[in-house]
Structure 1
Amino acid sequence: MLQVVVFSLVPFIWWLITAREKENFLHWLGFKRPLITNKKQFFTLFLSSIVLFSLPTIIILPKLVDSSNLAISQFSGKGRAVFLPALIYSFIQTGLSEEILFRGFINKRLSAKFGFTIANFSQALLFGLLHGLIFYSFVGLWGIIIIVTITGSVGWIIGWINEQRAGGSIIPGWLFHASSNLLMSILAMFNLI
């Protein structure tokens, strides 16, 4: 919960100063019912994106980084006993906090100022760079470039799904992000990565 509070602090202060009179904080961030016109197409895109972006992580990440340096290493080899902590880690600590900051705050505020294309690219780059910085001391320059590219691409597709396919709701992105993290956590729980 601490990470959610920390990642929400700047957006909350920004909202207090600029938008408090216009709409409530959660709606301003994009916590609203997704507007999905073609549900079958949306869910196909949603699930295929999770698989598409999980594969490079499963294949490439273990070659770049010692698994003990990954956040999911806390679940390594512990099986079903750590499923609840993995759920909390995936849905609250990482999924919720990062979606609030990157897609709910940065993407939406930059979109209002510069348009969706520039905003989505910018938030995705920042998202990728944050993940690259986490591994800076563990991998070389090429490793950083690969990590930034993969996570930045994930950030871009999440932003695109939220804004272009879900009516500006960050809920699909949150579920996408959390599901991907949960998948990686489950793989770690059973020593599959």
Structure 2
Amino acid sequence: MELVISSITTMFVNLILFSSVPAAWWFFRHRKEEGFFQWVGLYKPQLKTKWYVLLAFAVLYYFFYNFDFTQFIDPKTLEYIEDSSSISGNVFAGIGAAAILPAFIQNFIANGVAEEILYRGFLCKRFCSKAGIVKGVLLQAVLFGLMHNILYVIAGLDVGLWYHTLVFIFTGMGALLLGCLNEKLFNGSILPSILLHGTGNFIVSMLVAFS
């Protein structure tokens, strides 16, 4: 129960933290034009490309998400990360079914919804409107990757430059694919990226929980 309460707390903190700037930006500059949900991309997705393009993306994303980048990490560094209490996913390690509800809350809402609102819903759309879809998607991916580097620094984790580089590449590539999914394959809705983002993180949490 304590873990569930902690996940709910994290959910509210993240939603407020990641939505505050988009909400303020919309309120002062765009509230007379359209509602917040529509403006940020929280609306029904509609496929705007051929089915085989979506299939190709699905295959690409599958191989990307299943690529084990930890094979490039020094075993000591990997052990250090896996034992660190600063890594949120480590709280689910070995607890089995007890992790399902808190992991769902944390992965789909605290991370999936909150992060997608800020990065794919707010930043990506603002960048795309100013610099075009390709540059906009790339810019938000760079910022998303850097965010994860900053979080490791804030947590005080001494992981070294190489690990930071791998984290930046992996998370940035994920953000790049999610941005393309929304803006290129669908009609700008961020619901597809929320679903993929949340599902991917949830699967990782379940692997940790039942390992």
Question: Where does structure 2 lack aligned partners over 5 or more consecutive residues?
Answer: 1-11
SS at 2:68 equivalent: helix
Instruction: Name the structure 2 match of 1:42.
Output: 54
Q: 1:150 aligns with which of 170, 174, 177?
A: 170
- How many residues are aligned here? 191
* 1:55-78 deviation line (CA, Å, top 9, x unaligned): 335655794442133211010000
Counterpart-to-counterpart distance in 1, 2:171 and 2:121: 17
Instruction: Name the structure 2 match of 1:188.
Output: 208
Q: Is it true that 1:139 corresponds to 2:156 in the alignment?
A: no
What is the correspondence of 1:96-107 to structure 2 with a 5 Å cutoff?
96-107=113-124
Choose 1 or 2 for highest CA Rg: 2
Counterpart-to-counterpart distance in 2, 1:85 and 1:61: 29
Instruction: Name the structure 2 match of 1:18.
Output: 29
SS at 2:159 equivalent: coil
Contact map agreement 1:34 1:172 (CA 8 A) in 2: yes
What is the correspondence of 1:48-87 to structure 2 with a 5 Å cutoff?
48-57=60-69, 59=71, 63=75, 64-65=77-78, 66-69=81-84, 70-87=87-104
Counterpart-to-counterpart distance in 2, 1:26 and 1:94: 18
Instruction: Name the structure 2 match of 1:95.
Output: 112
SS at 2:43 equivalent: coil
Counterpart-to-counterpart distance in 1, 2:72 and 2:166: 9
> In terms of mean alpha carbon deviation, does 127-136 or 92-101 score higher?
127-136
Counterpart-to-counterpart distance in 2, 1:40 and 1:77: 39
Contact map agreement 1:34 1:169 (CA 8 A) in 2: yes
Contact map agreement 1:54 1:180 (CA 8 A) in 2: no
Percent of residue pairs identical? 32
* 1:1-56 deviation line (CA, Å, top 9, x unaligned): 22111100000000011110111001101111111144565256336514522433
Task: Report the TM-score when normalising by structure 2.
Answer: 0.83
- Amino acid of the structure 2 residue aligned with 1:49: Y
- Amino acid of the structure 2 residue aligned with 1:173: S
Instruction: Name the structure 2 match of 1:117.
Output: 134
- Amino acid of the structure 2 residue aligned with 1:152: G
Contact map agreement 1:29 1:100 (CA 8 A) in 2: yes
Task: Output the aligned Cα RMSD.
Answer: 1.9
Instruction: Name the structure 1 match of 2:144.
Output: 127
Counterpart-to-counterpart distance in 2, 1:172 and 1:29: 13
Contact map agreement 2:124 2:136 (CA 8 A) in 1: yes
Question: Where does structure 1 lack aligned partners over 5 or more consecutive residues?
Answer: none
Instruction: Name the structure 2 match of 1:27.
Output: 38
